[in-house]
Structure 1
Amino acid sequence: MFKLINKYKSVLRFILTFVGSYFILVLVYNLYLTYGASDTYYPDIITHTVAQQSESVINTLGYDIKVEPSKVVPAMNLIMDNKVLAYVVEGCNAVSVMLLFISFMLAFFDGWKRTLLFIFGGVALIYGMNIIRIALLTIGIYEYPAYTELLHGTIFPAVIYGTVFLLWLGWIRSYKKQPSIKKELVE
């Protein structure tokens, strides 16, 4: 049994680090959601901010949209032409995707400085991509309402998860790179 554990030590460490860090991060996030509710920044400050920043991007693209707290669900309504086009709910703020990304990065830890820089850069990229995703999704729903399900259910999740996948791929490719053949020949 110990031979088997020793043989797959790195795989077990990856799995335990990934699952353990994800569990802890989700626990902390759920505490935030439980105790971080706000009347000022409804439903929570992250979702509220994401909705407002999406509004700014949409308005910059030439559409007249406003964001208001929903009276029906804990969300922010994206309203254009007096019609609610979309809700920005807690699940739309990409925090759960960021937590998944961070957990993977911690499981492939490669020194504090390098790992933390990649985490901060990756989280910023995911956050920015999510704002653009919500803005383009809202415009797509406005311009092409017949394609709402395709846009919301397939294309735009592929964008955010595709971004995370490419970040992971980039990290893995750079993770503890082996010395080049030239360097080995010189030594």
Structure 2
Amino acid sequence: MKALLVKYKLVIKFILAFLLTYIILSILYKFYLQFSDGAKFYPDYMTHLVAKQSESLLNTFGYHAQVLPHPNEPSVKLIVNNQYLARVVEGCNSISVIILFVSFIVAFASKFKTTFFYILSGSVLIYTVNLLRIVLLTIGLYHYPYQKDIFHKVVFPAIIYGMVFLLWVFWVNRFSKLKRGNE
């Protein structure tokens, strides 16, 4: 048994670091959602912020967009040219994806400063691409409503998760301790 632990030490260390980081960040996020002030920022601050920024981007692109609290569920209705096209729910705010990204980077951590700035810049990139994803999805739904399922279930998840995967690959190949240890 000891030989197996020694042989797979790096794998076990990665799994434990990933799981511990993921669990801690997920619990903190759950507390944030539980105690967020839904009266001021509905349904929570981050989801509200993503909805408002999506509205601003759509207006910048020449669409008349507005966001309204959904009366029957914790989400924000995204309306373009007086047509209800999409809703922004808690899962659309990119925080869960960022938690997954951060957990992986921490599990393959490098020097503190390098790891911190990669997490920060990667999180900003994920958030920004997610905003663009919501805006493009909304524009796509406006012009091609019959493609709703393909847009929402295939194309746009591929964009966000594909980018996260590329960020992970770049991190492992360029910065992680694993890479430095093999050189």
Counterparts of residues 1-187 of structure 1 (less than 5 Å): 1-174=1-174, 175-176=176-177, 177=179
The letter for the 2-side match of 1:59 is: N
Q: Deviations over 1:85-142 (max 9, x none)?
A: 0000000001100000000000001011000000000000000000000000000000
Given the two structures, how large is their TM-score scaled by the length of structure 1?
0.93
| Alignment partners' CA distance in 2, 1:153 and 1:15 | 29
Please say which of residues 168-177 and 58-67 is displaced more in the overlay: 168-177
Give the 3-state SS of the residue equivalent to 1:79 in structure 2.
strand
Amino acid at match of 1:136: L
CA distance in 1, matches of 2:80, 2:129: 22
Residues in 2 aligned to 1:104 and 1:74: alpha-carbon distance in whole angstroms: 29
Distance in 2 (alpha carbons) for counterparts of 1:123 and 1:165: 13
Q: Which 4+ stretches in 1 moved above 6 angstroms? A: none
Between the aligned partners of 1:7 and 1:173, the Cα distance in structure 2 is: 22
Q: CA deviation at 1:83?
A: 2.3
TM-score between the two structures when normalised by the length of structure 2: 0.95
How many residues align? The count is 180
Partner Cα separation in structure 1 for residue 82 and residue 64 of structure 2 = 10
Q: Alignment partner of 1:121: what SS? A: helix
Q: CA deviation at 1:178?
A: 5.0
Q: Which has the larger radius of gyration?
A: 1
Query: Following the alignment from structure 2 to structure 1, what is the Cα–Cα distance between the partners of residues 161 and 45?
Result: 23
